[in-house]
Every structure is written in C-alpha cells, then in structure tokens.
Structure 1
Amino acid sequence: MPNSAAVSASNFATNIDKRLPQRIVARIRNDGDALVAAHKLALDFSVEAALRDQQRRLPWDELERYVSSGLWAISVPQEYGGAGVSNVTLAEVIAIISSADGSLGQIPQNHFYAIELLRINGTASQKKFFFERVLQGDRFGNALAEIGTRTSQERKTQLIADGKSFRINGRKFYATGTLYAEWIPTSVIDHAGVQHLAFVPKSADGLTIIDDWSGFGQRTTGSGSVVLDNVAVDANHIVPFQAAFETPTHAGPFAQLLHAAIDLGLARAALTDVIGFVRSRSRPWVDSGVERASEDPLTIHEIGNLTIQLHGAEALVERAGRWVDQAAAHPDEESVAAASIAVAEARVLTTDIALLAGSKLFELAGAQSTLAEHNLDRHWRNARTHTLHDPVRWKYFAVGNYYLNGKKPPRHGAI
C-alpha cells in the first residue's frame, strides 16, 4: 500500500463527487446538546414509525432531518470541529432514536463505526478531509459483510493495484445505510490477504447498490447488496482495517456497544407500547375480579419484571460505554479486554429484554394487539432480526471464560 501520510487534505477534495448534496447542518457542541436533540427528533420520528415499517416507506426525509440536526457528527473529535461526545452519550443517542424507529436507529451504526476507524487508523490528512465531510452532512454507509464465506468475518472482495490507484471487485450484503449514503466504506483484501477499508464515493463507476433487503424486521434500513465491478478507488481513500484488531484498540467493543444501544431502544419501544395498550385498550381477564386490565395483579407483575430487566440493561449499557471510553483513552490488552467483556454483558441483557418485551407485549395486551393496523409485531420482528447480528450464546462463554479462567476475548467486531 502506498504511504498516504504526506497527502494534503486539498488532494482529497479533487475526488469529491460534485453532485453530493449540500446541507445546512447544525453544530452540536457537547453531550447535553446531543441528548436534547435526540429526544426532540425521537418525538417526530415515532409518529409514523409503524407506517414506515408496514409500508416499507424508506425514511429519506427523516434521515435528512437526522443529519441536519448535527447528530451524525457528534463523535467527530473536538480537535476536528466535532463535539467528541462520550461513548456513553453516543450509545444513549442511538437508543433514543431506536426507541422511536428501530430502523432509523440502526442506519447510522456503521457511519459511526467508520468515523471511529478513521480516528484509530486514519492519517492526519484522511481525518481532516473525512471528518469535515461528516460535519458538512456526508453519510457513510458500509459494504463490510459478505454471504457465502466460511465465517461471517471472512472477506473475499479484492483490492487490486492499478498504477498509483486501486480497483475493487466483489459483492457485499447486509450493507445497512448504504442506500442512503454518500460514501461506502468497503472492506477489501489486498494481494497479501491484509484487510483494508476503502472509502468509495457512491457515484463511482462500477458501483451498484441493490435494494434487495427482504428481512422481516428492520425493514427500512436498506441492508441490501453492493456490487463492485472494477471500481476505482484513490489510494488516499484507503484506511488500514485489520490493524485495528491486531493491536489493542477499542474498535471491537465500540461496534458492539452500538448494537447493544439499538437493542435497548427496541426494548424501550416495546415496553412503552405494551403499557399504553394495556392502559387504554386491553380487557382484564374474567377471573381477575378487577375492572381494568391495568389493575390485573398478574399483568402488574409482568410489567414490573419487564421494567426491572430493562433498567438492568440500561445500567449495563451505560457501564459498558464508560469502559469503552477508558479503552479509547488508554488502549492496551487489559483495557480493551475489559471493555469487550463489559459490552458483551450489556449485549446479553439488551438481547434478552428486546426479545422478551416484544413477545410479552401480545400476551399482556391481548388478542386486539395482534391486529394488523397496530403493527405491534414490528417490535419483536425488529429485535429478532437485529439480535442475530452475532450469537449471544458466545457472549456468555466470553464472559465466563474471562472471569473464571482469566482468558481475554478475541479482538474482532463480534464480541
């Protein structure tokens, strides 16, 4: 790979697609402002969330408001003009938006991941250029995962030298957010089998985005296919990827923290809807001897159980965010392992409560809640789809092996 450290930011600008939209983007300056903005947007996003899911209405307008709010730039470091919010705050922002609309909550997950990989492995010039693009409203998608490989971590997409630049050939799937993005961070393998992240403009010749996501949950995330047919990429737009896991960095637990936050938001949404339905529509069971479903002692018990589990998940996500912050500030074998385990613990609870709340909703709300016009099944569908990102059963193993045998978890994006 050529050394791009000496390339100035102005060199990057020559490669910008002139058709990229020009947005007026607010500048969020601190963690408190980020949380306020997220709560405000969530109120709007929740209004037609059920319809967007039911009709698979892609959220173009909502995404424009989301980006224009400045929330997509909150993880840009302060020295580059961003708010540089804590990972605790970033996770809570994602949870807040996910509780309003699970798909909208997931769409920027890989955007934030790309920002973090740039922060970890990008050159000064790459950071200056791409962080400014984010502050101006550019969205990153992703073309990371592939199907048909031996494991979910294996990659076959090729990065081939072509004079002073490179070309990419391959096919990707689960490309969440790419449909809506200006840049497609793409995982590629060079001639030596080393993995890199290539930032490909959406307008690049030979790049095809196929809206073929047919999952029964997270319906509007645009998590379909990306085909790269001899796509040219500037050497200066290529960032080391594999190196983020060969040495201790917080890249892995960071990615997993965002997934936990999405599931937390999905759980909050399901619990909010079951409480609302029981209060306003459900009938008490005949043997309960009460006038309203909200007075049924067995229903009260179940709502209490769900609430306690949700609060436990919230506490572990916040705790995990603090561990990731520590690992980001002082990365070493110990801090990164501790962050990975803390996030794994959070993901166990967020997975469990998201699935349980989405399922218990119908049991507690009753037969009326299954009517199509309510579309309440989206909560379980979203949770079941998103929690399959990687198997929670291996998180129990990682946590147990760490505390029982002192074994550090492997460093990759799925712990």
Structure 2
Amino acid sequence: MSTSTASAHYDIRQPDAHVIRDDAEAIAVAHRIAALLRDGAAERDRRREVPADVVDAFSNSGLWGITVPKAYGGAEVSFATLAEVIAIISAADPSLGQIPQNHYCLLEDIRLQGSDEQKRFFFNLVLQGHRFANALSETGGKNVQDIRTRIVAEGDGYRIDGRKGYCTGSLYAHWLGVLALDEQDRAQLAFVPRNTPGLVIVDDWDNIGQRTTSSGTVLVEGLFVPAFNLFPSYRSYESPTLAGPFAQLTTAAIDAGIGRAALVDAIAFIREQARPWIDAGVEKASEDPLTIVQIGALEIRQEAAEALLERAGWVLDRAKPAPDEDNVAQASVAVAKAKVLTTEVAIEASNRLFELGGTRSTQVRHNFDRHWRNARVHTLHDPVRWKYHLVGNWALNGIKPPRHDWN
C-alpha cells in the first residue's frame, strides 16, 4: 500500500454553524433544509456531484451538532428527535441524509469514551460546524469485524497503517475517525484532521445507489495521531451502552426517509401522469380501485415504519440515563423491529412506484429509479434477515442481542 497519491479534492471551507438550542428548533430547521436539498437531488444523483455550497448550507444549519450534550453547549436532542431529523433530510436526499450518519455515531463515541477535556475540544469543533466522517469499516476481511488496520505506540503518540472502505462522507469531511486495533486487538478510534500526512481520501464510490455519499476508500500509512486524539472505543461494548442501538437507529431513519420519498413521488405521479387500467372503468389513475388499495397499503406500512422508528427512539431515550443489560437489550430489539419495516417498505415503495405509475414512470428524465437504487444499496448495510432472528430469539428464548455496532 502506498499513500503517495494526493487526496481527492473538495472545496473544504471554514465552517460557520448556527447552534440549535432544542428539539423543536431541530425539527423546524430540518424541514427548512430538506426543502433546500430536495431541489436538485435527482440531478446530483445523475452527476454524482454535490456542490460545496449545498454541503455547507446543510452543516452550517446546526443540524450536525444537535446531539452535542447540553453540558458542552449543544441541544442534546432526544434520540427520537434525531431519528426524525435524519428521516426528514433523507426523504429530500438520502445520500445527503447519510453523510452525517456516521458523524453522529462518532459524536456518540466521544460522549461515551472521551475525557472531559476531549469532549470540550471536539464538541466545540462540532458546534462550530466541523464535519466528521468515518474510516471504520474495511472491505477485505472475512466479515465486518475482521479489522486489519493496526495502531502502535510511537514517540508521544501513535502510528496507524491500513486501508479503509465504505468511508461515508470522507470527501466532505474536516476530520476523519479512523478505527484500528492495538497490540491487544482492542478497537481504538483516532480523530485526525483531513490534511494530516499519511491520510489519503480516494473518491472511488461507484455503486448504483447512494451515489453522492462519498463512501469510498481511505488509505492510512504512517499516520501519526497524538494521544489526545485517541478514544478507547472497545469499551463501548465491554459494558452495556447504547452505541449499537444508536448506530442502528440512525441507519433505519435513512431508510424511512427513502420509503417516504418514493411514496410521495408515486402518489404525485399517479395523480398527475399515470393512466388507469381499461378494466377499471374510471377516468383517472387515482380513481383506479386496485391502485387505491396498493397506495393505502403502502401508506399504512410507511406510517407503521415511522411509528416503530419513533418508538425505538423513545426506548433509547429511557435507557440513556442509566444503561444496563436489560434496557440496552430492549433498545436493540426495538430498533431491530423498526429496521425490518423501514427496510421492507423502502424497497416495496420504490418498486411499486413503477408498477402503479406505468411505463411512462420509467422515463430517464424522472430519475425515479434512484429511489429503488438508494433503497437497495443502503438497506444492505447489515442483513435485515438477522433482525427477524434477533427479535424472535428475544421473544421465544429471552436471549439478549450480541453487543456490537450492528445491534
């Protein structure tokens, strides 16, 4: 491996973020930013490009700082509110809705494992508008927990070497959180500024969906990290914490947004452009009885998915003051239930759009296929079939879910 090539260029500007003060303001700002992001979402998908002005408007809105604890100047919104914010943004543009998803997870790592001094430093950066991206996962191991990137002590800090994949938001980030294993095979999380020598961002994400998430490769070679920038993330799973349920909640919220976007476009297209089937004996597609039934079923399942998502947020909120074996398990189960339905309805709604819209809905100019592409790619984050097993094993046998990032 060599990091002799330069990092991919992006116009990274000095942040100037608004500080959101409470849950109600967070929801209001989310709706305002969603209106901004919705315009041009299809074109950004086609071009695989996001102008810097768009990303800056999003992060400078203050939404990226809403989970910062009140003790450190943030709004510390509820988990339920955070899920709603992510779903609102993702319904407008799910690629942009995903960009801060790992940012929020990294802030949760800081909250759980940072010293007071570390929290003050990094949370202050976030409130200023600095964007964090992940360099956590890898693509070459036998499973998602097979991490090959290593960290070793060197001088008054540490050195990291490895290759990372699925690094969502890396192109747009001011800082990256790099996960590596130490000599005891314990996971350590290092925060490094974007332009640190030995860190290379490769903008090579070319998958069919979530096209502008910049979920590509990050190379690290001889990357020096000061001791102050290191967090013992392994501790988040040695004892009960909400790290896993939190990560899953944010993921499910993106899928909820994708499903809602597909359903909204399906309804609009049926009303305005689709034709009824000849045997229906009606004048408009919106009066076709079988179409009405299908839209009714989708609307019910979408609202059920959103309700389970909100309920899961409440379960996390109740567990947050004093997480233990029982309430963390309950949080994992609640989020698993939401994730099953948000996954299935996102795929179903994005598929039904074409079935009910007819052949004309497949015209390239509409770019409706982005909904299915986004749903299909993002819901592969972790297999929802295992959520059925998790819920069933809990209900039948009282087996608590294993603690890791995917539960």
> Shared fold (TM-score greater than 0.5)?
yes
Matched, 1:37 2:34: no
Considering only aligned residues, what root-mean-square deviation do their CA atoms show, in Å? 1.0
Letter of the structure 1 residue corresponding to residue 369 of structure 2? D
Q: 1:106 — aligned with what?
A: 98
Which residues of 2 match residues 373-384 of structure 1 at below 5 A? 373-384=365-376
Partners of 1:255 and 1:373 lie apart in 2 by 35
What pairs with 1:331-350 in structure 2 (closer than 5 Å)?
Answer: 331-350=323-342
Query: How far apart are the structure 2 equivalents of 1:386 and 1:256?
Result: 12
Aligned partners of 2:285, 2:238: CA distance in 1, in Å?
A: 55
2:12/2:52 contact within 8 Å kept:
no
Separation (CA, whole Å) in 2 of partners of 1:163 and 1:56: 42
Report if the CA contact (8 A) 1:196-1:242 is conserved. yes
**1:239 matched to 2:231:** yes
Gaps of 5+ in 1: 1-18
| Match 1:91 to one of 62, 83, 86 | 83
Unpaired runs of 5+ residues, structure 2, are: 1-10
Tell me how far apart the structure 1 counterparts of residues 302 and 121 of structure 2 sit (CA, whole Å): 40
Of the three residues 221, 224, 233, the one matched with 1:229 is 221
TM norm structure 1: 0.95
Shift of 1:23: 2.5
Q: How does 1:62-141 map to 2 (within 5 A)?
A: 62-141=54-133
Distance in 1, Cα, partners of 2:116 & 2:384: 37
Structure 1 residue 149 and structure 2 residue 145: aligned?
no
1:87-129 per-position Cα deviation (integer Å, ceiling 9, x unaligned): 1000000000000001010000000000011001111111000
Distance, in Å, in 2 between the alignment partners of 1:176 and 1:354 is: 20
Deviates more, 1:156-165 or 1:301-310: 156-165
Shift of 1:25: 1.3
Equivalent position of 1:292 in the other structure: 284
* 1:64-104 Cα distance to aligned partner (Å, 9 max, x none): 00111111000000110000100100000000000000101
**Are the aligned partners of 1:94 and 1:261 in contact in 2 as well (CA < 8 Å)?**
yes
Q: Could you tell me which amino acid in structure 2 is paired with residue 82 of structure 1? A: G
Task: Give secondary structure in 2 for the equivalent of 1:25.
Answer: coil
Kept in 1, the 8 Å contact 2:103–2:131? The answer is yes
Measured after TM superposition, the shift of residue 21 of structure 1 is: 3.8
Other structure's SS at 2:231 match: strand
Deviations 1:241-276 (A, max 9, x none): 111011100000000000000000000000000000
User: Which has the higher mean CA deviation after the structures are superposed, 146-155 or 127-136?
Assistant: 146-155
Q: 2-side partners of 1:207 and 1:25: how far apart?
A: 26
Picking from 20, 24, 49, the partner of 1:28 is 20
Deviations 1:198-237 (A, max 9, x none): 0011110011100000110000000000000101100110
Q: Look up the match of 1:12.
A: none
SS at match of 1:142: strand
**Alpha-carbon displacement from aligned partner over 1:110-159 (angstroms, at most 9, x marks no partner):** 00000011001111111000000000111100000101111112211010
Whether 1:321 and 2:316 are equivalent positions in the alignment is no
Task: Give per-residue Cα distances to partners, 1:262-314, cap 9 Å, x unaligned.
Answer: 00000000000000000000011111100000000000000000000001001
Spell out the pairing of 1:233-272 with structure 2 (5 A cutoff). Answer: 233-272=225-264
For the 8 Å contact 1:249–1:327, the answer to whether it is kept is no
1:6-21 correspondence to structure 2 within 5 Å: 21=13
CA distance in 2, matches of 1:383, 1:226: 24
Shift of 1:60: 2.3
Report deviation, 1:59. 4.2
1:60 & 1:106 partners in 2: Cα distance? Answer: 16
Q: Distance in 1 between matches of 2:195 and 2:123?
A: 20
Partners of 2:315 and 2:330 within 8 A in 1: yes
Could you tell me which amino acid in structure 1 is paired with residue 143 of structure 2?
T
Cα deviation for residue 363 of structure 1 reads 0.1
SS of the residue corresponding to residue 373 of structure 1 reads helix
Q: What residue number does 1:5 align with?
A: none
Distance in 2, Cα, partners of 1:186 & 1:388: 22
Q: Is the 8 A contact 2:12 2:172 kept in 1?
A: no
Query: Are the aligned partners of 1:157 and 1:168 in contact in 2 as well (CA < 8 Å)?
Result: yes
2: distance between equivalents of 1:239 and 1:21? 27
Partner of 1:309: 301
The alignment of Structure 1 onto Structure 2 pairs a total of residues equal to: 397
Instruction: Quote the residue 2:155 is aligned against.
Output: 163
Q: Paired residue for 1:55, among 35, 47, 61?
A: 47
Q: Which runs of 4+ in 1 moved over 4 A?
A: none
d(CA) in 2 for partners of 1:234, 1:327: 33
SS of corresponding position for 2:67: coil
Q: Is the 8 A contact 2:33 2:58 kept in 1?
A: yes
1:27 partner letter: V
- Following superposition, the deviation at residue 55 of structure 1 comes to 1.3
1:30-83 CA deviation, whole Å, 9 max, x = no partner?
Answer: 000000000011111111100000111224221100111111000000110000
* Contact 1:31/1:85, CA 8 A, preserved across alignment: yes
Partner SS for 2:135:
coil
Does structure 2 retain, via aligned residues, the 8 Å contact 1:22–1:136? no
Q: Cα gap change, 1:20/1:104 in structure 2, threshold over 3 Å: closer, same or farther?
A: closer
DSSP-derived class of the 2:191 partner: strand
Quote the sequence identity (%).
Answer: 54
Determine the structure 2 residue equivalent to 1:175.
167
| Counterpart residue number, 1:196 | 188
